Chains A and B, each alone.
Chain A
Amino acid sequence: MAGLPLYAQLINLLAAILLLLAFAMLAQRRVLSLIDLFAAQGVALTASTAIVAWGTGQTHLWFSAALTLVLKVFVLPWILYRLIRRLDVRWDVEGMVNIPTTMLIGIVLVVFSFNLAYPISQLASTVTRSTLGIAIACVMLSFLMMITRRKAIPQVIGFLSMENGLFFAATSATYGMPMVVELGIALDVLVGMVILGVFFFQIREQFDSLDLKHLEKLKEPE
Chain B
Amino acid sequence: MTASGFLSQLLQLAVALALAPLLVGWVNQCRAWLQNRGAPPLLLPYRTIHKLFSKDAVVAHGASPLFRLTPYVVFGAMCCAAAIVPSLATDLPFARAADAIALVGLFALARMFIALAAMDVGTAFGSLGARREMFVGFLAEPALLMVLFTASLISGSTSLPTIVETLAHRELGIYPSLAFAGVAFTMVSLAENARIPVDNPATHLELTMIHEAMVLEYSARHLALLEWAAALKLFNYSCIGLALFLPAGIAEGSDWLGMAAAAPLLVAKLAAGGFALALIETLSAKLRIFRAPEFLGTAFMLAVLAMLVHLLLES
- The chain A residues found within 8 Å of chain B, CB to CB, are 1-4, 9-10, 12-13, 15-17, 19-20, 23, 27, 99-100, 103, 106-107, 110-111, 114, 117, 130-131, 133-134
Contacts and interface: CB of A to CB of B under 8 A. Distances in A.
A206 B281 CA distance: 48
Interface string B273-314: 000000000000000000001100110011011001101111
A1 B180 contact: no
A50 B177 CA distance: 23
Contact of A23 (B301, B312, B313, B314): B301
B134 to A, nearest CB: 18
Contact of B298 (A1, A15, A27, A111): A27
Given A16-B309, A16-B313, A114-B311, A99 B297 contact: yes
B293 A12 contact: no
A12 to B, nearest CB: 5
Nearest to A14: B176
Given A114-B311, A130-B312, A134-B312, A13 B176 contact: yes
5 contacts: A4-B173, A13-B179, A19-B305, A99-B297, A133-B312
Nearest to A101: B297
A17 B309 CA distance: 10
Interface residues of B, number: 24
B135 interface: no
A117 B313 CA distance: 12
B138 interface: no
B205 interface: no
A115 to B, nearest CB: 10
Given A16-B176, A16-B180, A20-B180, A114 B308 contact: yes
Nearest to A24: B298
Q: Is the interface of A mostly helix, strand, loop or mixed?
A: helix
Contacts of B298: 27
B56 interface: no
A23 B304 CA distance: 12
Closest 10 CB pairs of A and B: A16-B176, A1-B314, A9-B174, A12-B313, A2-B171, A100-B297, A13-B174, A16-B309, A133-B312, A13-B176
Given A1-B313, A110-B308, A9 B301 contact: no
A12 B311 CA distance: 12
Contacts of A15: 176, 313
A114 B314 CA distance: 13
Nearest to B308: A110
B175 interface: yes
Contacts of A20: 180, 302, 305
Interface in B170-206: 170-171, 173-177, 179-180
Contact of B294 (A17, A100, A134): A100
Nearest to A26: B301
Contact of A16 (B171, B179, B293, B297): B179
Contacts of B313: 1, 12, 15-16, 130-131, 134
A45 to B, nearest CB: 16
Given A20-B180, A23-B301, A111-B308, A99 B173 contact: no
A100 B176 contact: no
B170 to A, nearest CB: 8
B42 to A, nearest CB: 37
B304 A114 contact: no
A130 B314 CA distance: 9
Contacts of B308: 107, 110-111, 114
Contacts of A106: 301
Contacts of B297: 99-100, 103
Interface string B25-50: 00000000000000000000000000
A166 to B, nearest CB: 18
Given A1-B314, A100-B297, A103-B297, A19 B309 contact: yes
B294 A99 contact: yes
A103 B305 contact: no
